[in-house]
Amino acid sequence: MTLAANHDAATTAELDARAKAILRGNDRGGYTVPTEGLYPYQWNWDSAFAAWGFAAFDLDRAWVELETLFSGQWANGMVPHILFHREDAGYFPGPDVWGAGETIPSSGISQPPVAATMARAIFERDPQAGAPRMAPLYDKLLAWHRWFYQHRCESGACCITHPWESGRDNAPDWDGALKGIDTSNVGPYTRRDTSHVNPDMRPTKRDYDCYITLVQFGRACDWDEAEILANSPFRVADPTMTFILLRAHRDLKWLGTTLGHDTTEIDGWIAELEAGVESLWNDDVGVYDARDLRSGELAGSPSNASFLCWYAGVSSPKTEARLARILSKVTYGVPSYDPEGPLFDHMRYWRGPVWGMMNTMIGMGLADAGLTDLATQVRDDTAALIADHGFAEYFSPLDGTPAGGGTFTWTAAVWLGWASPSAQKGA
């Protein structure tokens, strides 16, 4: 399916305008919320994609987005997955539950570090104007990447300490690791997501009880990384984090070299992660897979994160064949879980739906690897999905039914930065 087959230049211009309006509408003055109502704060990787989207029409606003994100960086280098810039009493779990943050109240965990990759893309649009903005940001990015190396890469691959840290909240990858978690002390709470969105499209009550249990554990140990490493019941080496961090290391090295820095430290991180990623290979399913670091077991979950390998610069002929087969079973890009798998649910968050920003990273990686036909298919499918079904948070990969938030920041950013024919002409 291609956008050109069904939509003319006027439609493209209209969609470009709608995407810009969504970014402006979700702008809260220095930072962007993912969508009105459902997510009222600044989310880490959402914000990095927002900056990339703004760069298509407002470079200054793009830099401000990243600068605001890093204004909440902890002294140890960690950049939290949520920054609570303003009070919103209806959101759970809010800052009172997390009990975290230094300069700004925040969550106690991080998220996939796409920021270096997006910072490079923004910088390359106008290096001369970007150099004064990039120079201080580089040091902050370096500190964050060092934090990942020191606190999340003990197995060689990059791990997560909470499903939210991966960005793929309820993916089947975490089922085994979450199975034994005791949730009996969670207590009552009210979720915002299921009041805004059909509960059948969201994580289950059991999932959420596990999430809150892990937040309570982190707070009880004052978010001390050594204690979390030693005693947390959940620690999973994650292909999302591993591949995105590896790509981000490469882009951070490029930025450092361009700015005249010694990047020997980053070279070491890249080498260790390139070796460590092989610990995630699951020959039984022919993809890179999540590994529970407590049990040592692989999840057996062929997910869209498996197909980020090319984005990280890791070739995989077996994975290429698996991706081609999956794409033949769906209409719109890469589902979050194999549609032939026993746990596939085409509308439940990360257990089947397709996500524009994951399609984007997968498509970019395929193009970088010279897998042109697959790259073009993923990009054209994503363009058609947005053109036909709007700027939702996620969609059914089977028929494009939109789900989650309806005017979503990163979907608009994906359109402006990559999927739109306007973006493709400038590529």
pLDDT at 3 exceeding the cut of 70: no
Q: Give the pLDDT score at 196.
A: 67
Q: Give the pLDDT score at 279.
A: 98
Q: Give the pLDDT score at 403.
A: 95
**Which residues on neighbouring strands pair with residue 387, listed in sequence order?**
none
Could you give the CA distance from residue 324 to residue 318 in angstroms, rounded to a whole number?
10
Overall average pLDDT of the 391-395 stretch: 97
Q: Give the pLDDT score at 404.
A: 92
Q: Give the pLDDT score at 426.
A: 56
> Over the stretch 130-139, which tens digit does the pLDDT of each residue have?
999 999 999 9
Q: Give the pLDDT score at 2.
A: 46
Higher per-residue confidence, 38 vs 111: 111
169 is catalytic: yes
Higher per-residue confidence, 186 vs 37: 186
pLDDT at 1 exceeding the cut of 70: no
Pairing of strands 291-292, 287-288: unpaired
Tell me phi and psi for residue 42, to 5 degrees.
Answer: -95, 115
List 27, 65, 169, 380, catalytic entry: 169
180-184, 198-202, 296-300: segment of lowest average pLDDT: 198-202
| Per-residue DSSP letter, 35 | B
On whether the CB atoms of residues 356 and 384 are closer than 8 A, the answer is: no
Kindly report the pTM of this predicted structure: 0.96
Could you give the CA distance from residue 160 to residue 178 in angstroms, rounded to a whole number?
13
Could you give the CA distance from residue 106 to residue 234 in angstroms, rounded to a whole number?
21
Q: At what angle do helices 115-125 and 239-259 cross, to 10 degrees?
A: 40
Q: Give the pLDDT score at 397.
A: 97
Q: Give the pLDDT score at 165.
A: 98
Identity of the amino acid at 242: T
Residue 181 tokens read as 């978690």
Overall average pLDDT of the 218-237 stretch: 97
List 65, 173, 338, 393, catalytic entry: 393
CA distances from 295 to 176, 178, 179, 235, 305 (A): 9, 12, 12, 10, 21
272 is catalytic: no
Give percent above pLDDT 90 in the chain: 89
For residue 395, give the H/E element and its range: strand 394-395
Overall average pLDDT of the 279-305 stretch: 97
Compute the mean pLDDT over every residue in the chain, rounded to the nearest whole number.
95
Tell me phi and psi for residue 234, to 5 degrees.
Answer: -125, 115
